Structure 1
Amino acid sequence: MLPSRTYHDPLHGAITLDGSDPVEKLLIRLIDTPACQRLRRIRQLGTASLTFHGAEASRFTHSLGVMQIARRAFDRLAKRYSELRPYRPQVLVAALLHDLGHGPFSHTAEEIFQGQHEHWTRRIFLESSPLRQALDEFHPQLATDLEKIYLKQFPIPLVWQLVTSQLDCDRLDYLMRDSYFTGASYGHLDLDRILMAMDYDPVSQELTVNQKGLAAIEHYLFVRYFMYAQIYNHPKNLAAAWGLEQAISRARELFGVGQVWADGVIGAWLTQNNQELSLEQYLGADDITLVYHLQAWQHHSDAILADLCRRYLDRDLLKAWDISNLSDSGQQSKLTQARELAKRFDLDPAYYVTIRTAVSRGYTLYNKGIKVKSPRGLVDINQCSSLVMTLTQPLTKQYLLYPREIEADLQRSP
């Protein structure tokens, strides 16, 4: 018998997996695979640690947290609805493995390398021998079930909705975890009340919310809105991510003509379609390997590459100016001014000046939305909550990113 395992988590306390329970024994085995352990080397919040110095949590800690919340949510529902009990392995394993496919700096890598972590999550558990062997030995159908869950095609919607929906265990953990590690007090959630509000509709087989728990869900959605507006879309985050993207873009150009060094893994990431990398090439990349290359490239003879890498490593980030109040022509005028000023400082505007758009939205009808059990049947939450209705409207902001060298001249410009 595999011994029990306890992970001490700052949010959830002691997460104990029982080695005598077949499902939890499988979870322990999956956690110990190289693909899962790789997530320790990938930051949950990508480049955000340059804005919020405490944002050092990994995708590994988040994955354990999602699994723990999913276990609490599912086990509570399965006590009331015995027909759900056979699906415990699918829910818990899907929750644990949902972020396997993240690349270096999490979502930032998706923007830079044009990849999709969901695609790679499926490839990894289907093709990585240690993972696939563990899944197949537990049940030959489990890997196929996981694929259906991630594609939102599992025949019982609640099974995939607990993992990927507007009210899923992934969002609950990352909002709590990101709030904790960034110090954002408005990100606190009443997890117990949210889990108590969750219910199941045997007819539609969907995840639902009890009307008496509506306030807890409204609070969750407002927390999500504020976290996007104040944390995920923080202008310094936008500047850090774009600066890293520009460094990689310059390295890609030079690597293509044989003017910069990269090892086999990063070389493949620079030259190949992300979705077509080999499994070994994909799993070989993490925050450590990418930062190692930035450290090497900051000494390169190419002034642009060296400067972009140094700026990122030294946190000499671009400035961000909120120009949302300007008309489209006004924004373009400021962009043109910034580009001309950058040229005066011998800074190529293609690498140092841009406009980035940030969109924050608290609620959408994504993945069937959130259904509330009401006297008139299942209704979408925005039909029974005026507060949620306000969150369906997106908040859009435009930021002009530019090097600090031109700030004084740019601010003086009309």
Structure 2
Amino acid sequence: MKRRTFLTFCSSTGLAPVIGSWAASPNETPNIASVGVGGKGWVDSNGAAKFANMRAFCDVNQGRTKRQGGFLLAANQWPKANRYADWREMLEKEGDALDGITVTTPDHMHAPITMTALKLGIACYTQKPLTRTIHESRAITAAAKEAGVATQMGNQHHNGRTYRTLVKLIRDGVVGKIREVHCWSNRPVWPQGIARPEGSMPVPETLDWDLWLGGAPDRPYHEAYQPFNWRGWFDFGAGALGDMGAHIIDPPVWALALGAPRTVAYEGPTPMPETFPTTERIRYGFSGTKYTAGDRLELTWHDGDKRPDLVANGLPAEFKLAAGGSLYIGETGTIVAGHGSNSLPEIFRDGRAEAIKLAVVEGVNHYQQWIDAIRGEGETTSHFGYAGPLTETVLLGTVVCRFPGITLEWNPEAMKFDNSPEATALVKQPYREGWEVEGLV
């Protein structure tokens, strides 16, 4: 019985599908497909294909790209792989043979593609942020649990030595319990805080603009959106916070075992109708945990030209912050860690660096961990059961940046803001007609 037929049978009879029956055995090479093979998609498809067989790939731009990789290079790299422009056609034709899929598209298409793959019992490696809306994160988290397949969000630094060592330091209480956290990024490095461009431009011959738009509202093509600047637009991306928050907010959420925020507030420029702000400060209020110094913890996100105060947070005035990172104010000192895997956390007490030999926790390959999990060898660490709630936390900030001057009160159980129907309206958003996916509408 084919996978699609089997899943339909299970749905009609109420039986739970045993998805694992399609998992590759430890002695087999899993078959994977990639949606998006340019830019970061080139990195993800190659990263996964080192440990798997690339059976098919898909990209809405079938010509050359200004960024690395792309359809033509993918065709040369994997000449035996089947090629598509439309991910729906690819999953329809290839789904029965696939063990896994990488999803590396603009944010607005993460959830529709991932949900469709999960419904087919296909393991998913989906780029960060996992989804564009809070409702999508909640739905994908539930669908992954029901499907029982290997999942991994593409926040690869979760498995790097910097973050793994940082989490150990915090949980070992090297600076005592944590009182406050700051995270920051130099993003955006693309236009934000701008208005919609007037008019339109000719669609590049090799780009299928309708497929690129997918579930987003229809609008004419313009280079202001594609191939990279989509991140700054509400309809397509999640701004600087969505791009980097899934990386940089990951270690405090992980190390401190934080649940859903209860409050969130924005400081920054007056919002524009369609794009994220040029700079922002987002204050999250969490309930305390056994790793925090009180019954409440504030985590502040800074991007654009905003940064945490050095001296006030236990660092020397001359200290140079990395382009992105996080710092943790504890009872007995401060830990600061740059974003990425090329550095290790530093410890400061009374404004002075402390020479300490760190117990480094070495990293593991994020892609290999996912492929191994497909084969039944271990589990992933940024599976959707973890990455979904993390993404939800990040996306609360992409909502509140449209409501300056108010502290939004988040009710995670009801999935609404108790004090703002207008903000709640952004938790779940519609899809363009013909692009609705079961499980998301």
User: Larger RCO: Structure 1 or Structure 2 (Cα < 8 Å, ≥ 6 residues apart)?
Assistant: 2
Q: TM-score, normalised by structure 1?
A: 0.26
More helix by share: 1
The structure with more radius of gyration: 1
More strand by share: 2
Q: TM-score, normalised by structure 2?
A: 0.24
